[in-house]
Amino acid sequence: MSIGSRIKQARQAAGLSQADLAEAMGITRSACSQWESDQGTGPRRERLEMLAAELGVTYEWLATGRDSAGVGEALPAYLSGEQTELLGLFKSLGSAQRKALLAFLRATKNTRKDKSADSA
């Protein structure tokens, strides 16, 4: 199976259209289409790492096809039920929603740090 086929398989398993994936990755839908059809140059390592994270697969599988976990990889056993739920919910959000949620979480974390510093 080619890298393009693995990208397409992982994208479809994640329930994303090419347009959805392109938006989440900050690329054009045309670039996504070219990657999936193995036309032109494939994605660089940095993009492959981002793709793997976005699609919920391992970098090893996406890049080489050698990792047996591949699509639908089970989450690590050390994650709590709450953490697993959070990851699942996060993956179901659109790109804009993810960015807004991350901004909120970062602001909340920074507020907690500021309060800790004030009380010290």
Phi first, then psi: give them for residue 80, nearest 5 degrees: -75, 165
One-character DSSP codes across 105-119 = HHHHHHHHHHHHHHH
Q: Is the domain defined by 3-64 classed in CATH 1.10.260.40?
A: yes
What whole-number distance in Å separates Cα of residue 88 and Cα of residue 25?
A: 18
Percent of the chain residues topping a pLDDT of 90: 22
pLDDT tens digits for 34-70?
Answer: 999 988 788 999 899 999 888 888 888 888 888 655 5
Sorted by where each begins, the domain ranges of the chain are: 3-64, 81-119
Q: If you average pLDDT over every residue of the chain, what do you get?
A: 81
